[in-house]
Amino acid sequence: MQKDKLIRHLNKQTNVTYLYWGRSTYVAGLKFPKVEKKCIGKINNKGEFVPNKTFLALSVEQQMETGLVDEPYLSPYTRGDVPRLVASELRKRKIKHGLPVDTRHVSVYVQK
């Protein structure tokens, strides 16, 4: 399997360079390669890397492998943590004020 590499795309209308992490593989019989990539951020006007949520979700090893950062970014939360906190806080406030607790609406926040 081929290693992932940094792919740069310049949007000529907005003059913004978007960065993707992925790979392209040759497919016999086709005139173009198969490309698997995901956007991990962009380059701002000062030439600095601005990560997005996808980059923050990468493992520490993958972040360092991109070569864009000197030390890894740590995500402020992992997927699913914030909705659980919101749901539990909502439930506590309803109980505190004597409001009925509807478990149907709470479960919507808990789903991943």
- Are 50 and 44 contacting, i.e. CB atoms less than 8 angstroms apart? yes
Q: Tell me, yes or no, whether 95 lies in a domain.
A: yes
User: Does one domain contain both 11 and 57?
Assistant: yes
- Are 56 and 72 contacting, i.e. CB atoms less than 8 angstroms apart? no
Q: Which residue is it, tokens 């497919």?
A: 27
pLDDT at position 71 = 84
Instruction: Provide φ and ψ at 25, rounded to 5°.
Output: -125, 145
pTM (predicted TM-score): 0.61
- Are 55 and 34 contacting, i.e. CB atoms less than 8 angstroms apart? no
pLDDT digits (tens, 9 = 90+) for 14-55: 889 999 999 888 899 999 989 899 999 999 888 899 999 888
User: Does one domain contain both 18 and 62?
Assistant: yes
Q: What is the mean pLDDT of residues 4-14?
A: 91
pLDDT at position 98 = 74
User: Could you list the residue range(s) of the whole structural domain that residue 90 is in?
Assistant: 81-110
pLDDT digits (tens, 9 = 90+) for 62-100: 888 888 888 888 766 555 555 555 666 667 777 777 777
Looking only at the bridges linking them, the beta strands covering 5-11 and 34-43 are: unpaired
* Total number of domains constituting the chain: 2
